[in-house]
Amino acid sequence: MDIVKLSAVEIKEKILKNELSATEVVKAHLNRIEEIDKDINAFISINKEGALEAAEKVDEKIKNGEELGALGGIPIALKDNIVTKDTKTTCGSKMLENYRSPYDATVVEKIKAQDGIIIGKTNMDEFAMGSSNETSFFGPTRNPVNTNLVPGGSSGGSAAAVKAEEVALALGTDTGGSTRQPAAYCDIVGIKPSYGLVSRYGVVSLANTLDTVGVFGRDVSDAALMLSAIVGYDEKDSTSYENPTHLVVEKDLEPTEYIKGMKIGIPREIYLDQIDKRLIGVMDKVIKVFQSLGAKVEEITLPHLEYGLSTYHVISAAEISSNMARFDGLRYGYRAKEYSTLDELYINSRNEAFGDEVKRRILMGTYYLSMGLGREYYEKALKMRTLIIDDFNKAFKDYDIILTPTSPILPFQLGKLKDEPLTKDLTSIFTAPVNLAGLCAMSIPCGYVDGLPVGLQIIGDRFKEMNIIKAGLAFEGGMKNGI
């Protein structure tokens, strides 16, 4: 039995049935990391001792006949912008190269409380700004599908770790597509929950009205398991909600059963000029799969979708400029060696510790919030956000889910778009509007073109996670059955 190939659901079952010990599971994954991570660079830090200790506790529980938590014995990786007491939290930046948080994020507490085993912290674009994992201070992560390709970003390390079988599950974050796009690029499942479903407490803010914690698994059931373990209202996060739907998946149904009676919308606006033309064929195939499963598929319109990316760009940059201000070199993090005034301390520390992408966004965001022309962009973006929300609200009156490609661009070669930040931003064109509207969405593998994995995005209304999970299970089953 190759332990690392087991799904999270399988690992849990085997541990419960005493066919495997948690320690065996953890050791197998640690070995896998040892063996492969030098080629992938998915991890920034690995908590070997902590993981083995946690595994022992799980085995002890099994031995004593105690009840095991929902994540019992499953090896999990965390994106390095989710704070943990046991390991440092770098956000992929020189600024926090040696930063150790005095507290655990709420999601970390939930994982620990449910016997999940945190293996380590994963590589990411610096402060989650990027879509290829190339802006990390700790070097780029490579795509396990093909190490010449980028894994996507900014949660590229988490996606790669799951794909490379270094862990079974992982958490990422998703502000404009940072979970779904790397899931698509690494050929796995990624879910971005509705804004407020999962607590953001302890997740280092990028753009706080858009940020969500995302989950990765190699199939829909695994991703759903991960998600169901971290949802729920948190008194420490005023923007969190009690889970309004129960994330309970009926197992082993026929694919058609999952999708019975669902109405699916395909926005006509997705066929834009910048889209990779090979995706049009893929979408046709996807539509056929859903139709053959018995779903009703219709063309819909989201008139403001095309403004989603610029709206996202302005709002996220504005929030970023404010959120990044606390990294001033004074209380924690990097401090410049040379300075003679307080202002110089700020300027030199930030200048020396932040990478270009971070600086670019801080500059843009500062401009968008400043009096004058910049401010007009920001005010306009806020208005456009409302129009985009209205578009989705209208669509969800008649449709249960909406389908788009996850990214309009297929996985690209490492370094290829290094000097084209705008093209890289384009990868968020279908994902960012979902964040603007606070909806939920999943990226699910839908085949390969020319050796490159393609992700399908399934969008659901806010707090209708069950719709996307069911549609995902149906589609996964349909693909497996070769429909």
β-strands 296-300, 440-449 pairing? unpaired
Quick one: DSSP state of residue 228?
H
Pick from 16, 35, 60, 103: which binds another protein (CB under 8 A)?
103
Q: Which member of 99, 258, 399, 463 binds another protein (CB under 8 A)? A: 99
The CB-of-331 to another protein minimum distance in angstroms stands at 7
Active site residue 132: no
Find the part of the chain contacting another protein (CB under 8 A) among 3-11, 322-330, 442-450, 474-482.
322-330
- Distance CA(176)–CA(225), nearest Å, equals 23
Tokens 């991570």 map to which residue?
37
Kindly state the tokens that stand for 320: 């970023």
Cβ atoms of residues 438 and 200 within 8 Å: no
Stretch of 139-147, 365-373, 396-404, 429-437 lying at the interface with another protein (CB under 8 A): 365-373
From 12, 14, 61, 79, active-site residue: 79
Q: Which is nearer to another protein, 201 or 412 (CB)?
A: 201
Residues touching another protein, count (CB under 8 A)? 45
Q: How many CB atoms lie within 10 A of CB 332?
A: 16
Q: Is residue 389 a contact residue for another protein (CB under 8 A)?
A: no
Taking CB under 8 A as the criterion, the residue among 294, 322, 352, 483 binding another protein is 322
**DSSP conformation letters of 89-138:** --TTSGGGTT---SS--HHHHHHHHTT-EEEEEE--SGGG--SSS-S-TT
8-16 and 22-40 helices, crossing angle to 10° = 150
Identify the residue whose tokens are 């401090």: 335
| Contacts for 482 with CB less than 8 Å, ≥ 6 apart | none
Phi–psi pair at 471, nearest 5 degrees:
-60, -40
Residue 196 or 408: the one with the smaller Cβ distance to another protein is: 196
Per-residue binding letters, 334-363, with another protein (x by CB under 8 A): --------xx--x-----------------
Q: Is 178 annotated in the active site?
A: yes
Binds another protein (CB under 8 A): choice among 370, 393, 413, 481: 370
d(CA 243, CA 263): 24
Residue 344 CB, nearest approach to another protein (Å): 12
Q: How far is the CB of 239 from another protein (least distance, A)?
A: 6
The gap from C-alpha 396 to its chain's centroid, in whole angstroms, comes to 23
Q: Does 83 bind another protein (CB under 8 A)?
A: yes
As given in the structure block, the two tokens for residue 53 are 């200790």
E-assigned strand segments in 218-277: 263-267
- For position 205 contacting another protein by CB under 8 A, the verdict is yes
Report the residue from 11, 40, 58, 96 that binds another protein according to the rule CB under 8 A: 96
Specify the residue for token string 């050796």.
Answer: 451
Q: Return the residue of 272, 325, 363, 387 that touches another protein, per CB under 8 A.
A: 325
Between CA 163 and CA 158 the distance in angstroms is 9
SS3 of 148, please?
A: coil
Asked whether position 324 contacts another protein by CB under 8 A, the answer is: yes
Q: Does 235 bind another protein (CB under 8 A)?
A: yes
> Contact with another protein (CB under 8 A): which of 101, 404, 435, 467?
101
Site for another protein contains 202 (CB under 8 A): yes
- Give the residue numbers annotated as catalytic, written as ranges: 79, 154, 178
Sites of contact with another protein (CB under 8 A):
81-83, 89, 91, 96, 99, 101-103, 105, 200-205, 207-209, 235-239, 318-319, 321-322, 324-328, 330-332, 342-343, 346, 366, 369-371, 378
